Amino acid sequence: MSIDYVRKPEWLKIKLNTNEQYTGLKKMMREKKLHTVCEEAKCPNIHECWAVRKTATFMILGSVCTRACRFCAVQTGLPTELDWEEPERVAESVEQMGLKHVVITAVARDDLKDGGAGVFAETVRAVRRRNPYCSIEVLPSDMNGEYNNLKTLMDARPDILNHNIETVRRLSLKVRARATYERSLEFLRLAKQMNSNIPTKSSIMIGLGETKEEIIETIDDLRANDVDIMTIGQYLQPTKRHLKVQKYWSPQEFAELKKIALLKGFSHCEAGPLVRSSYHADEQVQAVKASV
């Protein structure tokens, strides 16, 4: 039974911070005509990341997604034309922000034969040219599950390949659009086969009706496909049109899931009610380096 009418627990309350760093970063994004998943997906951590940590997850390939996943607040529809100047604008922004770690994600572009891999790869190269000491994490869709599309991205040699499995196997068809549980596992497995030196990462959101046993099954499936980093966070309904929350998992339950993931062999795991795929990503890359 849905519990969306119940007040959110205390641990989900967010502290707003709109200091100069927050407003300055927002202004820069508008001036450079850039998008962030922080805003488009209504991330609960935007104030912490923008105002305190001065980090952001850039969303390339436009702001319109070709998929209509039932958990995601990103706009769905017919995408705009490709902007081949976007990679350089992202690189300039990373330089201006003085980032040591950057996350680059994108809307799904099923309208493109390469799934947007070409622009993705060029963005990685542009950031690296301008910011040689900045580590780069990419968070693509499954790019239609095409081997060559993934290879195009992997050949650009990001520091971390992140692809989210999103939910447990049983709920995947209900929650995701076009993407499948097995295809995501294959995507992560192929990435590791293409370059075993590049750490892989995946994320699951909970609170959609899954059981603890199903979460552990997903943890096992990701480890069986050599995924190095995992994040686990609470699903929050972005609008009334999206799937309803079935359960708010407690901080204690998240702590237990994190312990299980680490015992299963992940080099790093972030788990908590407000954890998202890019949450404290700068710390994650350092933890992985330290474990090698």
Is the pLDDT score of 162 beyond 90? Answer: yes
- The reported pTM is 0.85
- Could you give the CA distance from residue 102 to residue 107 in angstroms, rounded to a whole number? 17
For helices 181-194 and 147-154, give the axis angle rounded to 10 degrees.
40
pLDDT of residue 1: 40
The closest alpha carbon to 241, from 12, 74, 109, 78, belongs to 74
Per-residue pLDDT reduced to its tens digit, 242-283 = 889 999 999 999 999 999 999 999 999 999 998 877 666 666
pLDDT of residue 218: 98
- Could you give the CA distance from residue 66 to residue 113 in angstroms, rounded to a whole number? 13
pLDDT of residue 2: 44
Contact between 190 and 147 under an 8 Å Cβ cutoff? The reply is: yes
Contact between 112 and 146 under an 8 Å Cβ cutoff? The reply is: no
Per-residue pLDDT reduced to its tens digit, 14-35 = 665 565 665 666 676 666 666 6
HEC per residue, 160-178:
EEECCCECCHHHHHHHCCC
Percent of the chain with pLDDT over 90: 53
Is the pLDDT score of 285 beyond 80? Answer: no
Number of other residues whose CB lies within 10 A of the CB of residue 281: 26
Q: How confident is the model at residue 49 (pLDDT cuts 50, 70, 90)?
A: low
pLDDT of residue 69: 77
Write the class of the CATH domain 15-291: alpha beta
Q: How confident is the model at residue 130 (pLDDT cuts 50, 70, 90)?
A: very high
Overall residue count recorded for the chain in this entry: 292
Q: How confident is the model at residue 106 (pLDDT cuts 50, 70, 90)?
A: confident
Per-residue pLDDT reduced to its tens digit, 166-207 = 999 999 999 998 899 999 999 999 999 999 999 999 999 999
CA 266 to chain centre: 17
Tokens encoding 149: 């599309």
